[in-house]
Structure 1
Amino acid sequence: MKTRRIFLQKAGISALALNLSPFSPLLGANEELNMNAMDEKPLRVAIMGLGSYGSRVARAMKDCKRAKLVGVISGTPSKIEAWQEEYNIPAKNCYNYETYSQIKDNPDIDAVYVITPNGLHKEHAIGVANAGKHVICEKPMAVNASEAKEMVDACKAAGVKLLIGYRMHFEAKTQEVIKMRMNGEFGKILFFQGLSGFIIGDPTQWRLNYELSGGGAMMDIGIYSINGARYMIGEEPIWVTAQETKNNPEKFKEGVDETIQFQLGFPGGAVASCLSTYSMNNLDKFFLNGLNGFAEMQPSTGYGPIEGRTHKGPLNHPHVTHQTTQMDEMAAIILDGKKPLVPVDGEEGLKDMVIIDAIYKAVKEGRKISLV
């Protein structure tokens, strides 16, 4: 059997990986003071998977107040050496995919952020949980709902927290729209549109390898529209329909979706119409329409500044690097028991996986799939 290191290297794990300090405008004075008082106790994090997104998270953590990068897990010794030098990581906090279970004996690591390919999330997350460390797992949390449920159960059994890398749940402009919806400022919600896509490059990268990715664009970028529909509308969908278009079967092999249009129905009567694709650029837009108002965000989920407006005018919160905010907020969840505005726990990730399973089933069977 191939080792994980060989498996990851053959799959091109080092290829392009496509997937706050608390933002004080949204915090009360007392909450800011409380969080500042706890700055001296950081969440000590090891990153597992040192590809492009792992590097992005590491850079963002340099500005964190509550989270600190203290360890790494990788199958590539040269990457470990480079990270040791750049982030001042001691050798005792460095592991590979065969030795990371030994973190159970390392009191200097509190949590591990799993940023390996989707197909390895279950194995790695459960391994971390069994070592007694909290798990932060990049989305999608698994390749299907069954695996996601195993992860949730394993973390509960181990008595550790499982959080999913939903950075947008902490982004200031996104939170402002969610709060407006919660306060009834849009009136009855009628419609949501989510457009998520880009033209993917290197055909040999792991995201186009079904065994590692579990799918195609839906597993990478489409999940943003699924999750966005849920937190923007504020309900859980009760049915899904979906249609797939594949124009390049050589690049997008069996099981790897190129473009899927999907629709979600919600109990309050709202409908979501969404597009997930690896073949079109300039698709990063959310639109929420209510009886009394609207919200439009474009870009809506990209790494850079989010731009948005509502019927009341533009959203003007300053941009803070999403992963910085995410890691500080997750530290507060783990260390302080803080309750986020929108959940980021394993159950939240599992809900998205149930919907993704249903979308793939709707494509295959050509019919509406009930989610209740």
Structure 2
Amino acid sequence: MAEPLKHPLAPEERVGYALVGIGKLAEEEILPALEASKRSRLAALVTSDLEDGKRLARRYGLPPEAVYGYDDYDRLADNPGVHAVYIILPNHLHEDYTVRAARMGKHVLCEKPMANSVAEGERMIAACRAAGVKLMIAYRCQYEPHHWAVREMVQQGRLGAVKLVESVHCQVESDPGEWRLKRKEAGGGPLVDIGVYSLNTIRFVLGLEPVEVFAQTYATPDDPRFREVEEQMGWQMRFGNGVLAACLTGYSAFRSSRYRLYAEGGWVGLDPAFDYRGLRLSLGREEGGQQVVEERRFPAPNQFALELDHFARCIQEDLTPFTPGEEGLQDLRLVEALYASARTGRPVRLEAPDKPDAFRGERP
């Protein structure tokens, strides 16, 4: 990873973000991350609750006129202090708010998953390209030091050739009314919400794309939570170099967030892997005929601040983000292939690019 700025930029030199969608993630994670950042600043809030928005504006030093309702979203075009929007809305709204931001000349940082379909993702990329603005998907794990340490260990061959990968990401969703359990709003079940962390991070660590996927889903009969989306999915990915990956995700099992890669000379992984903080990297290898397990520790900066500042740097220096729209689009292609496999009960073959990191931009 590149060396971070030693000193924060002055407020007037920073990229101004409008946060679009002020829910739990925005209030508990992203607003504090903007305070911890070095290149970014809060410039506006877009919310359905104007009074709550004004409360947060006071807390973070914004004037009340910097709080917008969704009906006023397009007025951001008249705010020169807003250089980019960070879209933190339900998945089915990502395309509309991205396309409208592009038309306003605002750069777009969009939460994952990028959209509910490949077609939506393609339109988002096309709109940003036509408007000359940048589009980045918020894959925070690709900006975090522990994940980069695993990636470098794997890609430099320090444990020999990787042969197998496993990952589990599950949690309990107990509210049948949760939008993540509605197909129209979410686009799918745990695969697109939390399973995508396993999918995306394995691609990132290996730097490669799968050539074949196979998936199975299950939903408990008569459980009101899973009338529209899967309860759980298990899937396999085969890569062109022979690596096999096995992943599990679900909405009715106790929280787990981990992955591990098995190589000829040892294994390495994170547990927890996808949490906002407290990540732990473990490494196992043989010494003197016995397996030795050690934990590697790294500084743990704010993950959201890292991705915000990377996008800000890309805007300031006219660089392609490390996780551009094309990276999000590739995940959507794989998601659609996995659902197709689950429906048919058959593997789905895929075209994989010849070069590593085919869909990524400038290293963070």
**TM-score scaled to structure 1, two decimals?**
0.87
- Give the drift of 1:108: 0.6
Picking from 5, 9, 24, the partner of 1:52 is 24
Larger displacement relative to structure 2 (324-333 or 121-130): 324-333
Larger displacement relative to structure 2 (360-369 or 311-320): 311-320
1:83-118 CA distances to partner (integer Å, 9 max, x unpaired)? 211112223322222221121121110000000000
1:199-238 CA distances to partner (integer Å, 9 max, x unpaired)? 1132212111222111111111010010012112221011
The 5-angstrom pairing of residues 309-320 of structure 1 reads 309-311=282-284, 313-320=294-301
For 2:123, give the aligned amino acid. E
- Give the drift of 1:318: 2.2
Give secondary structure in 1 for the equivalent of 2:242: coil
The 5-angstrom pairing of residues 53-132 of structure 1 reads 53-55=25-27, 56-132=29-105
In structure 1, what is the equivalent of residue 9 of structure 2?
A: 39
In structure 2, what is the equivalent of residue 363 of structure 1?
A: 342
In structure 2, what is the equivalent of residue 327 of structure 1?
A: 308
The 5-angstrom pairing of residues 216-235 of structure 1 reads 216-235=189-208
Structure 2: any 5+ residue segments left out of the alignment? 286-293, 352-364
Q: How far apart in 2 are the matches of 1:98 and 1:187?
A: 55
Q: Identify if the C-alpha distance between structure 1 residues 249 and 363 changes in structure 2 by more than 3 Å, giving closer, same or farther.
A: farther
Q: How far apart in 1 are the matches of 2:204 and 2:179?
A: 29
Q: How far apart in 2 are the matches of 1:123 and 1:72?
A: 17
Give secondary structure in 2 for the equivalent of 1:288: strand
Q: How far apart in 2 are the matches of 1:168 and 1:338?
A: 20
Q: How far apart in 1 are the matches of 2:304 and 2:174?
A: 24
% identity of equivalent residues: 31
Confirm or deny: 8 A CA contact 2:18 2:82 kept in the other structure.
Answer: yes
Q: How far apart in 1 are the matches of 2:47 and 2:347?
A: 42
Q: How far apart in 2 are the matches of 1:361 and 1:193?
A: 22
For 1:331, give the aligned amino acid. A
Give secondary structure in 1 for the equivalent of 2:268: strand
Give secondary structure in 1 for the equivalent of 2:253: coil
- Give the drift of 1:38: 7.2
Matched, 1:294 2:267: yes
Q: Identify if the C-alpha distance between structure 1 residues 124 and 248 changes in structure 2 by more than 3 Å, giving closer, same or farther.
A: farther
- Give the drift of 1:246: 1.0
Q: How far apart in 1 are the matches of 2:124 and 2:316?
A: 21
Q: Larger % of strand: which?
A: 2
Give secondary structure in 2 for the equivalent of 1:252: helix
Matched, 1:336 2:320: no
Q: Identify if the C-alpha distance between structure 1 residues 277 and 323 changes in structure 2 by more than 3 Å, giving closer, same or farther.
A: same
Q: How far apart in 1 are the matches of 2:251 and 2:221?
A: 11
Confirm or deny: 8 A CA contact 2:33 2:305 kept in the other structure.
Answer: yes
Q: How far apart in 2 are the matches of 1:110 and 1:257?
A: 38
Matched, 1:213 2:186: yes
**When the two structures are aligned, how many residues end up with a matched partner?**
340
**TM-score scaled to structure 2, two decimals?**
0.89
- Give the drift of 1:183: 1.4
- Give the drift of 1:324: 1.9
Picking from 150, 154, 160, the partner of 1:177 is 150
Confirm or deny: 8 A CA contact 1:192 1:233 kept in the other structure.
Answer: no
Q: How far apart in 2 are the matches of 1:58 and 1:202?
A: 26
In structure 1, what is the equivalent of residue 325 of structure 2?
A: 346
Q: How far apart in 2 are the matches of 1:69 and 1:248?
A: 46
* CA RMSD, 1 decimal: 1.7
Confirm or deny: 8 A CA contact 1:178 1:232 kept in the other structure.
Answer: yes
1:34-59 CA distances to partner (integer Å, 9 max, x unpaired)? x3467232111010000111112112
Q: How far apart in 2 are the matches of 1:37 and 1:324?
A: 14
For 2:19, give the aligned amino acid. I
Confirm or deny: 8 A CA contact 1:299 1:307 kept in the other structure.
Answer: yes
Q: How far apart in 1 are the matches of 2:120 and 2:33?
A: 29
Q: How far apart in 2 are the matches of 1:38 and 1:88?
A: 18
Q: Identify if the C-alpha distance between structure 1 residues 104 and 364 changes in structure 2 by more than 3 Å, giving closer, same or farther.
A: same
